[in-house]
A = this chain, B = another copy of it.
């Protein structure tokens, strides 16, 4: 950076017009003679003029910036959501502030507040850990909000969710089609809403098929490789009749794969295993995992589109987008 920044005033002087005329030329708005405009743009470019978004923001009360709040960008799930959201924002000429909360509710509140001070035009909040009341309060001072992976009924926010129940149903039906009748379920953390929904899908599919299942086939499970390994081992030794295992997510499924290896069960012949999410790893383990693909990138895109619409039009009602997960059939459960 050499010397001072050039302002609209400098350009106006150089072009021999008023600041207002330069403003019109830059924003391509208001009537202005094409030649005048072209000449001004030429001079502006020559002088390396960069209109100040800060000053413009002060004057217009719109900053062209958005906030994206995630628990942790290093988590591939949120990294892809961020990618999709940023891509969409860029196309619309906006910039996005990335904020991590570290799964800390206090920090979530603090971050939302700092975003307010930055006068962002809107916020996308992913997987909020706040309870309904705190969440509503923290969001109340933001004009436009879209929630991802978190529902909050009764308030005027947009939200983007995965249809976990449909996903659970699709997976279960796939296993039923393969003649499995004794299907176990490693259900994830008891508090997980997505886990509950996936279980609901399982129940619905089993009921549709007229199958009575043993409630003990369903067990809660930490959402990790280790959790899956341990709980699968217990479930499979208690219930040797189980021929297929529906896992809360791919990590759990990989743990189940390890447990099966310990028990010398052949996959998929002795036991079929399915996961959920379709993380990159799912295709690379042995055998590759049958799972439900969730497009995290698409979630980001949808959320940002919804946010931009809400900022422009004043769509302030509570919209909701339900993304459909897709069954991906691989060797672990053909």
In the complex, which residue of chain B has the Cβ closest to the Cβ of A102? B87
Query: Oligomeric state, in number of copies?
Result: 2
- What is the CA–CA distance of A254 and B285 in the complex, to the nearest angstrom? 11
Q: Does A86 contact B (CB under 8 A)?
A: yes
Does B97 lie within 8 Å of A97, measured CB to CB?
Answer: yes
In A76-120, the 8 Å CB interface with B consists of 76, 79-80, 82-83, 86-87, 90, 95-100, 111, 113-119
| B63, B140, B281: the one within 8 Å of A281 (CB) | B281
Closest chain-B Cβ to A154's Cβ sits at a distance in Å of 17
Q: What B residues does A254 contact at CB under 8 A?
A: 284
Q: What B residues does A141 contact at CB under 8 A?
A: 1, 48, 50
Interface residues on A, range: 35 or more
Does B58 lie within 8 Å of A86, measured CB to CB?
Answer: no
Does B73 lie within 8 Å of A76, measured CB to CB?
Answer: no
Q: Does A211 contact B (CB under 8 A)?
A: no
Q: What B residues does A100 contact at CB under 8 A?
A: 83, 86-87, 90
Q: Does A298 contact B (CB under 8 A)?
A: no
Closest chain-B Cβ to A304's Cβ sits at a distance in Å of 13
A-B contact list, 13 entries, CB within 8 Å = A48-B141, A50-B113, A52-B117, A53-B119, A72-B83, A73-B82, A73-B86, A76-B79, A83-B100, A86-B99, A98-B98, A254-B284, A281-B281
